[in-house]
Amino acid sequence: MGTGNDWSLRFVGAAGTENKQWEGRGGVPGIKLTALHHLFDARAVAVVGASQDVSTIPGKPLIRLRQHGYAGRVTAVNPRYEALGDVDCVPSVHDLPDGTEVALIMLRADRIAQAIVDCGQKGIATAVVVSSGFEVDDVPGRKLNTDLRRAIEESGVRVVGPNCEGVWNIPNRMLLTFGSAADRETLHEGPVSVISQSGSLGAAVMRELQDREVGCRFFVSSGNEIDVTMMDLCEFMIDEGGSAVIAMFIEGLRDGWRLRQIAAKARVADVDLIVLRSGQSKEGRLATQSHTGRVASASAVYRDVLRDAGILEVVTLGEFVDATQLAAQRSRGLRRPVRRGPESGVGIVAVSGGSRALLVDSASRRGVPLAVFGHNTEKGLMGLLPDFAYARNPVDVTGAVVSSPQFFEDVLKVVAGDDRVEALIVQYANGGHHQIVQHAGLLRSITETFAKPVVVGLLAGHAVTGSELGVESIVVTRDPEESVRTMEWLYRLGDARVPTTFSDRPSLARAVVPVTWSERVHLIDAAGIESPPWRLVGSVAELDAALSQLRAPWVIKASPEYAEHKTEMNLVHLRLSTRHEAVDAMHMIQRTIGDGVHVLIQEMVIGGQEMLVAARSDPDMGPVLALGFGGVLTEWVNDITFLCLPTTAADVEAALRRLRSWPLLEGFRGAAPLDIEALVTASVGFGALFVQNYQGAELEINPLVVLERGRGVRALDVLAMPGT
């Protein structure tokens, strides 16, 4: 993948018509760019398998095109009709008029492959396949899938779907869909685009956004993504330039390794990316598998990769719509908080004393920082507030706001003017529905004068919108929890930084993994990671020689070619300090794995913190690095974070800081700080080695002991196995 946003556009004449050919020097190949351009700017479309029975799926797309005033040419394909209403109907794809750019195909699954071949022969660039029956777990389904892939490859036609609900292009009034969500009188045009691997869920989101009068641009139900993927669509929409928000419902990404670079493009283009995903639980993953023939990757990998990419992930359908609407409002003037320092954060001005506690509790739970007011701010508030009021954050203005509007304005200006206040929550009491209308001009003035976002909270009931107040630059919420949630989202939308490293297409070659301990030590040496001094011994004489060369205490354990997970099998013996203990340990291991078999003796590392560093090829995201709490309690503690490879020292340190065990590295309860710099360096080197030589395998150092600052790290055990 390229790293720029540079696309060249050329025009090529074909079959007597003008074709726009996009040549991409980036993530989406040029041929896909061509097809996606045709898809979103089609001047002539065909509905293959159209029917006159409007109660059926094949009978609905022509209605949707008519009712929304699509200005391009529409032709139906069905040998049973000469016309369907005022739409011409031809018997086959070969009979379509020249210049047809997109075909919506609604045929039986066993006829789709031939229809794609026919489209290619006719010069149709893109097909949207509604039909289902592909990628299911049976022999006929796999054959249909194979046949369709072969047809795509041979024809050069780019395919959206199969098993999808179609495509909306609201600016062009081209709604190639059968879905009921498009059956509406009014379409609100605007900067929001939606991509969904579930057609019904994506259409429900579009219906709700349209009901809320949130302006939308594109909707694509990507279905099984046998060809055109969500990442292709997202990257195209960013480069196309008309979308300020792209909301995606994800079940699984076949090319998730592209996510970081696409998110970086979005950041540069000031496009907000919102994600809701399924398959976060074991049961959810099974449901996903039964629906799409695909199992989502581990939830934790998605969670961390999305967060690192600066993509706002939400967890419910309601949040998905709310967050998308919020991001759309940001494109119309709502600001993001700008982080200013360790004591900076949100300033709260509350009319309701009880709501102050709810706001603080919610902010703590959601990780939203609260500002520590400066001395001048506190002094200014004490000069304004009644003696019994609270002049620190959160501010309690009491009921005096009702009798003195000027007093309320003065308090807001003092708080908003504090350099540590990055954003403002104004929490009303029961009279808020009336007071907010009176204060609309004041609130607009506050956000414009101080260039900070303002979220206004009510106490339950219907919340008027900023647009209803004529103030697009503020958000009005129904309760304190929603206010803090909104502020959390604004912070997360603004927190992303453009990464400096990107993943290449993952290697599909199966790596040869090291088997013996000597080979594994050579592996970690190549990554710049030390192991404690060691020897392999198979007899008492060899053990005696090793004991004379290695400092006590010792560790004796099975060599990895005989057992990977040794603790559970009693194949690890620690803190050995005498020859007698060492001989007994060696003989106990040999009785389990074989008389005379060589065992590993190491100098025991004393002190430090055991961590885990691992690398594997994720089926969706490509090469990933796992960092976390290590040792025998790794699974029980379950404190692990993931990031894409290749990576940088800054990314690794940021990931480590997310861990609950991070304080142990800094020096917990008076303990000496540990060598975090060495841990970061080792992790980057290990990840680079994996990317260069071991993709397709799984490598793990556990434990990797982090010693006191300046003493480095030591790899005590190395796991290596072929990938699955």
Give pLDDT, residue 125: 93
Contact 611, 627 (CB under 8 A): yes
Give pLDDT, residue 567: 64
Give the alpha-carbon dihedral of 712, 674, 654, 502, to 10 degrees.
Answer: 10
Residues 104-135: tens digit of each pLDDT: 999 999 999 999 999 999 999 999 999 988 86
Give pLDDT, residue 286: 46
Q: Please give the Cα distance from 468 to 513 (Å, whole number).
A: 63
* pLDDT category of residue 548 using cuts at 50, 70 and 90: very high
Q: Please give the Cα distance from 514 to 518 (Å, whole number).
A: 9
Token pair for 458: 């009510």
Give pLDDT, residue 375: 93
Answer with the residue of higher pLDDT: 438 or 292: 438
* pLDDT category of residue 547 using cuts at 50, 70 and 90: very high
Residue 365 neighbours by CB under 8 Å, 6+ apart:
none
- Helix 375-382 vs helix 405-416: angle between axes, to the nearest 10 degrees? 170
Short-list 184, 170, 177, CA closest to 200: 177
Give pLDDT, residue 15: 30
Backbone angles phi, psi at 55, to 5 degrees: -85, -10
Residues 372-411: tens digit of each pLDDT: 999 999 999 988 887 766 788 999 887 666 667 788 899 9
Backbone angles phi, psi at 67, to 5 degrees: -70, -20
Residues 347-378: tens digit of each pLDDT: 999 987 788 899 999 999 999 999 999 999 99
Angle of CA points 304, 6, 15, to nearest 5°: 115
Angle of CA points 488, 327, 463, to nearest 5°: 75
**pLDDT at residue 438 tops 70:** yes
Arithmetic mean of pLDDT over the chain: 87
**pLDDT at residue 667 tops 80:** yes
Contact 158, 316 (CB under 8 A): no
Short-list 614, 622, 613, CA closest to 502: 622
In terms of C-beta density within 10 A (0-12 exposed, 13-18 middle, 19 or more buried), how is residue 88 classed? middle
**pLDDT at residue 490 tops 80:** yes
Short-list 653, 625, 650, CA closest to 640: 625
What would the mean pLDDT of 685-701 be, rounded to a whole number?
91
Give pLDDT, residue 638: 84
Q: How many CA atoms lie within 13 A of 313 on its CB side?
A: 18
**Lowest-confidence range among 124-138, 290-304, 559-573?**
290-304
Token pair for 256: 């998730």
Give pLDDT, residue 6: 29
pTM of the model as a whole? 0.88
Report CA 123 to chain centroid distance, whole Å: 36
**pLDDT at residue 439 tops 90:** no
The three-state secondary structure class of 150 is: helix
User: DSSP alpha helices (H): ranges in 174-243?
Assistant: 199-211, 230-240
Amino acid at the residue 424: L
* Cα→Cα distances 287→251, 293, 490, 724, Å: 10, 10, 32, 22
The three-state secondary structure class of 626 is: strand
Give pLDDT, residue 497: 66
Contact 62, 104 (CB under 8 A): no
Give pLDDT, residue 136: 66
Q: Which helix (H) or strand (E) holds 697?
A: strand 697-706
* pLDDT category of residue 29 using cuts at 50, 70 and 90: low
* pLDDT category of residue 23 using cuts at 50, 70 and 90: very low
**pLDDT at residue 18 tops 50:** no
Q: How many CA atoms lie within 13 A of 153 on its CB side?
A: 6
Give pLDDT, residue 138: 74
Overall size of the chain counted in residues: 724
Q: How many CA atoms lie within 13 A of 194 on its CB side?
A: 35
What would the mean pLDDT of 23-28 be, rounded to a whole number?
41
Token pair for 630: 């290590």
Contact 455, 423 (CB under 8 A): yes
Short-list 369, 236, 356, 258, CA closest to 305: 258
What would the mean pLDDT of 206-222 be, rounded to a whole number?
96
Give pLDDT, residue 289: 46
The three-state secondary structure class of 580 is: helix
Give pLDDT, residue 652: 95
- Of the chain, the end-to-end C-alpha distance in Å amounts to 26
Instruction: Give percent of the chain above pLDDT 70.
Output: 89
312 phi-psi bin (left φ>0, alpha ψ -120 to 50, beta other)? beta
Residues 239-257: tens digit of each pLDDT: 999 999 999 999 989 899 9
Contact 645, 687 (CB under 8 A): yes
Residues 308-318: tens digit of each pLDDT: 889 999 999 99
Angle of CA points 121, 124, 126, to nearest 5°: 125
Q: Is the dihedral of CA 382, 385, 390, 393 positive or negative?
A: negative
Give pLDDT, residue 31: 62
What would the mean pLDDT of 430-452 be, rounded to a whole number?
87
CB atoms within 10 A of CB 374: 15
| Helix, strand counts (H, E) of the chain | 25, 31
Contact 76, 88 (CB under 8 A): yes
**pLDDT at residue 423 tops 70:** yes
Give pLDDT, residue 467: 67
Give pLDDT, residue 635: 78
Q: Please give the Cα distance from 111 to 255 (Å, whole number).
A: 28
Token pair for 455: 């979220």
Residues 502-542: tens digit of each pLDDT: 777 887 777 788 889 999 999 999 999 999 999 999 999 99
**pLDDT at residue 655 tops 60:** yes
In terms of C-beta density within 10 A (0-12 exposed, 13-18 middle, 19 or more buried), how is residue 448 classed? middle
**Lowest-confidence range among 140-154, 400-414, 600-614, 674-688?**
400-414
Strand ranges, E, within 469-568? 474-477, 534-537, 554-558
Q: Is the dihedral of CA 609, 615, 619, 620 positive or negative?
A: positive
Q: Please give the Cα distance from 369 to 367 (Å, whole number).
A: 6
* pLDDT category of residue 198 using cuts at 50, 70 and 90: very high
The three-state secondary structure class of 575 is: strand
**pLDDT at residue 102 tops 70:** yes
Contact 599, 537 (CB under 8 A): yes
